[in-house]
Structure 1
Amino acid sequence: MKKLSILGVTGSIGTQTLDVIRKSNGELKLIGVTANTSVKKIVDIIEEFKPAYVAMMDSKSAIEVKKHCKETNKKIEVLDGIEGLNKIASLDEIDIVVTSVVGMIGLEPTMKAIEAKKDIALANKETLVVAGEMVMKAAKKSNVRILPVDSEHSAIFQSLRGNDINSLRKIILTASGGPFRGKKISELQEIKVKDALKHPKWNMGRKISIDSATLMNKGLEVIEAHWLFDCDYDNIQVLVHPQSIVHSMVEYTDGSIIAQLGAQDMRLPIQYALNYEERKNLVAETIDFYEISKLTFEKPDIATFKSLDLSFKAGKIGGLMPTILNGANEAAVDLFLNEKIKFLEIPNIIEKCMEVFKKEVSKELNLNNIIELDKTVKDYVVNNAVN
């Protein structure tokens, strides 16, 4: 039996991880979970999975969960705040941590998990985007495996298996293109939040859905891929693949290309990460190739969706520039979701922040500097982006 914690259990990846546990025939045991304010969902999870530890980021929500546990005679340790997340991530009893919280909040507990020598099933993009060098060094030092949960990185991970990493020539990251694929800038002037949230292929959370619409999601994945697979940015290519059947590909030095294909179901990469190096029985539908009429591929339009280009630039600059990119994006997306800025202002805000804070890039890459700069950038966006 493998024991695990889930950081961000009530989100999209967290809930799909629960489904993988349900179908594991008792081979996966849930020990700890975290959430923000979703008390009812946590209560349901407590009743079904009986975790020993729960952490709520919101202290009032933690009090409500404690009250439920007391009333129902549940012997569960209920924690709150970042300290709670850190403990759930580093419990002695667990083997692996699923990091599925959204945003910078995932970095510190991931580092705590690595220090505690826990394997990481990584679904939190920001961890490697802002601190890839630091995280990968720490993982190597602690002999910890970083197992990608993103469908694209899982595909690359699987396509590399059994091959010499030194024979890698190019990583090909596929992208659905989001809800506005093919549209020009003039057509995106008055985009509404509800339109940007309508992803054509995947059911995702609000923030990642907007990132997909701007292609920032793919840009963040480019930076992740650089750190996960030690691949130069010039050897990472983004390819728009609207059908989302080919999840990503690897080209080798001899010109051979190996791809991983599968259904549009995040339970597949989640299951693979949790059970690595084994493959388990089906948790999702298989592909019927008789019903697939065609697979198409396109070059991304970085003139219209410049967040992707900005991500490549930030990654190549390195240092703290990806922190600036990510912080500006998180703040701008939040403003858009709250209808305070327009859709096309998101990449413009990011580009402005990369210029304003470029002198900060060469500071030492450590946890304190990352957290401090992230806050500074977000404060700047909030105070300057809204007219």
Structure 2
Amino acid sequence: MTLSFDITDTSTRAALAARVAVAEKPSLIGMTREELGQALVAAGVIAERQVKMRVSQIWHWLYVRGVTDFAHMFNISKDLRSTLAEHFSIGRPEIVEEQISTDGTRKWLFRFPPRGAGRPVEIETVYIPEEGRGTLCISSQVGCTLTCSFCHTGTQKLVRNLTSEEIIAQLMAARDRLGDFPDHDTPEGTMVPAEGRKVSNIVMMGMGEPLYNFEEVKKALLIASDGDGLSLSRRRITLSTSGVVPEIVRTGEEIGVMLAISLHATNDDLRDLLVPINKKYPLAELIAACRAYPGVSNARRITFEYVMLKDVNDSLEDAKALVKLLKGVPAKINLIPFNPWPGTNYQCSDWETIEKFSDYINNAGYASPIRTPRGRDILAACGQLKSDSERMKKHERLALEAMMIAGHGEA
């Protein structure tokens, strides 16, 4: 049974009213250390000589303890806490809805306040619990510009890029909801060990193309991997791109996280249709950029994502072409059974076909796991995200359920 919760109860509505009151205050979440120090000095909150100490203190409370109220920063004087609250905010986005799948996958609909003359925006974030780890799928844009023909998110036009604050806030709000921050009500609150985290991995595979928002994504991921804060290993952070070639090498040099390529086809004609950015950056350029990715090796392989579409890209000849295309590239190939959504013309490949495809690639020397579909019943699976600013109508949800029952979406 799928569970769906409207989080906006009475207490939350009161909190929302408080958010409106502080909407014009800049948030300290998502700032680099240098930006944080500059903001504190510019606001007259601290003197220049105090920057290093105060930034270190605040950074610890924000990203190790996960506080959402300056009043909980116990090793900072009460007067300074009050002054910080007058000038800045450190709150979380509004959780409009939380859905829990039958398989334990969670999807949150987050709403962020207006930026400048804009309007509030909504995005979706997904948490996938697995044995020994938990993965958070984070969005980088509201909507998307890429219009990949098999992707539900691609049917929603781009509204705007997310800021580093809004990107990292998804991780922090998820950790709040999962109880993944230590108790910060007392100075002696226990730290959460790396092995005990519910969110152990993050993937930039949510709404949007991360490399079309490079600077904000970079800032957020460097905060996520900072050893004195959220402290996620860069090997546990994966950035997925549809192929923004000029930014791929920069990703390795400046962020240093694991790379995933949304591939889905082995020739330019088909990829032009499935992933239209291929018309700008064709396969030859994309694979060349992958070969040049800093640090790529058998220990740090690039993941190639390949959605299995019935009678489109799932033949044995396609498998042979895929092996040939990636020859010499340290790679893992994730086979993704297509996840249906209302209005799509695609169907998922038959399970037997997927297994034969996988067997061929494995026999050629590449790891080729078949990704288990997670959260399909709440549209939380790969390619299904779409913010509820365009909410699914009842007849669309019924149509999806009918597709699932009929087996069109089953692998």
Q: Which has the larger radius of gyration?
A: 2
Q: TM-score, normalised by structure 1?
A: 0.29
The structure where helix makes up a greater share of residues is 1
